[in-house]
Amino acid sequence: MFALVVRFDLKDDESAKAFDALVAETGIEIRAREPGTLIYATHSVEGAPLARVFYECYADREAFEAHEVQPHVIRFHKEREPYTQDARVEFLTVGPSKGLGSLDA
C-alpha cells in the first residue's frame, strides 16, 4: 500500500470552479484506467472554500508511478497551474485502518 495526501490552495472562486471541473474530468479517467489506484478521494475543506484535499491510496509504489505518467494525470498537473497558488504533498505510511483491505486492524 502506498498513500499520500495533497492539499491545493486555489487563487479565487473562479479558479476553484475551473479546478473542480478539471478534477471531475480527471477522476473519470482515473476510475476507468487505473486498476492500481485503490482510493482517489477529493475533498473541499470546511471553513476554507479555496482549499482542496486529495487522499490517494495505491496498491504499491509502482501503481503510483504508473498513475503519474498517465496522459490524464499529466494534463491535470499542467492545467491546474493557473488555478493554484500552493500545493503541499505528504507521503504517508499506512497504520491501523478500516477500509483498506488486508491492512484493516
Query: Is residue 103 situated within a structural domain?
Result: no
Query: Is residue 99 situated within a structural domain?
Result: no
Residue 95's pLDDT band (boundaries 50, 70, 90)? confident
Query: Is residue 56 situated within a structural domain?
Result: yes
CA dist 105 and 98 (Å) reads 7
| CATH number of 14's domain | 3.30.70.100
CA dist 58 and 5 (Å) reads 12
Query: Is residue 104 situated within a structural domain?
Result: no
Q: Is 26 exposed, middle or buried (0-12, 13-18, 19+ CB in 10 A)?
A: buried
Which range marks the domain in which residue 52 is found? 2-94
Number of domains in the chain: 1
Residue 82 has pLDDT above 70, yes or no: yes
Query: Is residue 102 situated within a structural domain?
Result: no
**pTM higher than 0.75, yes or no?**
yes
CA dist 53 and 36 (Å) reads 20
